[in-house]
Amino acid sequence: MSNSTDGARLSPAQRRAQIVEIASSHFSRDGIAGASMSAIAAEAGVTRALVYHYFPGKESLLEAVLEREADRVLLATAPDPALSQSENVERSLLAFFERFSSSSGGVRELYAPSSARASMTEGLAAANHVVQLDRLVSASGAEDTPANRLALGAWLAFVEYAARTSVTSPAVSRAELLRLCTTALESILGHPLSTAPPPPDHTHHRHIGDTP
C-alpha cells in the first residue's frame, strides 16, 4: 500500500497514474457505485482533496480508468508481424477474451451496449473500433471497400458480443468461442485464414493504428 512519504517522490503524472491504477481495482472489486473516493485516496496515501485535484469527481476518474483500459485492449490485441494470419487472429481473440473475462468493470463497461454512461464509453469504444477495423482490413488482405469494412465491422461487433455473453452465460468454452469467431471471419473473407508465415520483410512494417 502507498503512503504519503512515497507520494512526495511521485511526479504529477506518476501520481495521476497511481490513482487511476488504484481506482481501477476499486471499480472492479466494488462496482462503480460502490467505489469510494475516500478509500481510493487512502490506498494511494493521499487526501481526498488531492484526488479531486486530479479528478473533479468519480465520473472523471472512471473515464480515466476506461481510457487506460481502452489503450490496454489495443496493446494486448496488436498483431505480431512475425506471425501468420491465423496465428494473429487466434492471439488477438484470446487476448481480448482474457481481458474481458478478467475485468469486472473496465473493458466490460467500455463495451456495454446499454451503459448508463453511454456518452462516456461510446467515444472510447468507437475509437478502438476504428483502430481494430484498420488492423483487420490490413492483416486480412481484403480490399478496403465500404462493403468490406461494413462486414468486418459487424464481425468485430460479434466478437464483442461473444466475449460479453461468455462472461454472463459461460456455457460455451473458450475453444468453442475461438472456433466460432474464426469460422465467422473466414466466411466473411471467403477463404481460410493463411497459416503461412509472412515474408521476412513484413516483420519491419508498421501496423495501422500504431504510433510512428
Give the pLDDT of residue 119.
65
Rounded CA-CA distance 84/199 in Å is 10
Scanning the structure block, which residue is given the C-alpha cell 491504477? 21
Domain covering 4-56 assigned CATH 1.10.10.10 in the classification: no
DSSP symbols for 39-96: HHHHHHTS-HHHHHHH-SSHHHHHHHHHHHHHHHHHHHTPPPTTS-HHHHHHHHHHHH
Rounded CA-CA distance 115/109 in Å is 7
Give the pLDDT of residue 148.
95
What does DSSP assign to residue 10?
-
Give the pLDDT of residue 125.
78
Rounded CA-CA distance 85/96 in Å is 17
For the whole model, what pTM was predicted? 0.75
Is there a contact between 138 and 207 (Cβ–Cβ < 8 Å)?
yes
Residues in Cβ contact with 211 at an 8 Å cutoff, skipping those fewer than 6 apart: none
* Structural domain boundaries in the chain: 4-56, 64-204
One digit per residue, the tens of pLDDT, for the chain of length 212 reads 444 444 458 899 999 999 999 998 888 788 778 889 999 999 999 999 999 999 999 989 988 988 888 888 899 999 999 999 999 999 999 999 988 777 655 556 656 555 555 566 677 778 888 999 999 999 888 899 999 999 999 999 999 889 888 877 778 888 999 999 999 999 999 999 999 987 776 444 444 344 44
Rounded CA-CA distance 110/119 in Å is 11
Which amino acid belongs to residue 148?
A: N
Rounded CA-CA distance 62/106 in Å is 9
Give the pLDDT of residue 42.
97
Cell of 189: 473473407
What does DSSP assign to residue 169?
S
Cell of 107: 473493458
